[in-house]
């Protein structure tokens, strides 16, 4: 009895029925493996959104992203009209969605990939995007959209009304505006609910 108490007090032995769990050691991944899993490291200028030295890259990203989005979204209707209906409804709907995904993955960490003045305004209203940068972002987005329309007009003329969406024959203008407002509200609500900081202002 005295020996058992002495051993337990000295801490030299484990209690009966319990075994010591060996500690597992993990070796850090090599740089090549980390690069393969996480992708290339984000440049410092992209992580530091407050650095205005490379603001032109962010604006160029917004312009080129909006250009390709409008080119695909409006171009589907233009190509469909100029080729006699070779572009189906499914392709016309899916293509812009895939383009948005590609743009977000390619420039999302650079400019935030807003691609829409309403999105930039919504982020600014929620205080997740600086108001001082909204005007240039809007200008870049509008410029990208106009360049896409000019490109389509130069290549296809005015086929398909350049992909413009106009109210139906039996739809009044107020009803059309109301529908657009509801759809835009749904779009912005979805973006605000799913976008992280990297999609607002670029990677920190």
| Mean pLDDT across 163-182 | 83
The pLDDT score that the predictor gives to residue 25 is 61
**Helix H or strand E encompassing 121:** helix 117-125
Token pair 């009803």 is found at 175
Domain-wise residue ranges, the chain: 50-189
Task: Please say whether the beta carbons of 104 and 73 come within 8 A.
Answer: no
Task: Please say whether the beta carbons of 75 and 161 come within 8 A.
Answer: no
| CA–CA separation, 107 and 189 (whole Å) | 21
Structure confidence by residue, pLDDT tens digits, 73-120: 888 888 877 777 777 778 778 888 899 889 888 888 788 888 889 889
| Mean pLDDT across 170-175 | 85
pTM, full prediction? 0.68
Class of the CATH domain delimited by 50-189: mainly alpha
The pLDDT score that the predictor gives to residue 69 is 92
Task: Count CB neighbours of 7 within 10 A.
Answer: 12
| CA–CA separation, 33 and 89 (whole Å) | 42
Task: Please say whether the beta carbons of 71 and 148 come within 8 A.
Answer: yes
Q: How many residues does the chain have?
A: 204
Structure confidence by residue, pLDDT tens digits, 16-35: 555 655 565 655 555 565 55
Token pair 């051993």 is found at 7
Task: Please say whether the beta carbons of 191 and 122 come within 8 A.
Answer: yes
Helix, strand, coil percent content, the chain, rounded in steps of 5? 70, 0, 30
pLDDT at 7 exceeding the cut of 60: no
Residues 6+ apart with CB under 8 A from 97: none
The pLDDT score that the predictor gives to residue 68 is 93
Structure confidence by residue, pLDDT tens digits, 118-156: 889 988 888 888 888 899 999 999 999 999 999 988 888
User: Is the sign of the CA dihedral 8, 9, 13, 17 positive or negative?
Assistant: positive
């Amino acid at each position: 009895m005295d020996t058992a108490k002495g051993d337990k007090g000295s801490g030299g032995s484990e209690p009966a029925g319990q075994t010591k769990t060996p500690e597992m050691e993990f070796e850090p991944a090599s740089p090549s493996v980390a690069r393969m899993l996480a992708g290339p490291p984000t440049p410092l200028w992209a992580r530091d959104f407050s650095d205005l030295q490379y603001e032109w890259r962010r604006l160029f990203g917004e312009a080129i992203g909006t250009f390709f989005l409008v080119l695909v979204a409006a171009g589907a209707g233009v190509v469909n009209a100029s080729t006699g209906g070779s572009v189906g409804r499914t392709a016309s709907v899916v293509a812009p969605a895939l383009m948005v995904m590609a743009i977000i993955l390619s420039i999302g960490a650079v400019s935030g990939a807003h691609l829409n003045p309403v999105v930039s305004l919504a982020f600014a209203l929620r205080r997740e995007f600086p108001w001082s940068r909204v005007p240039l972002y809007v200008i870049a987005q509008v410029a990208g959209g106009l360049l896409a329309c000019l490109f389509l007009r130069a290549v296809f003329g005015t086929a398909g009304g350049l992909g413009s969406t106009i109210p139906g024959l039996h739809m009044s203008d107020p009803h059309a505006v109301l529908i657009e407002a509801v759809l835009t509200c749904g779009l912005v609500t979805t973006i605000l609910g799913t976008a992280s900081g990297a999609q607002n202002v670029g990677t920190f």
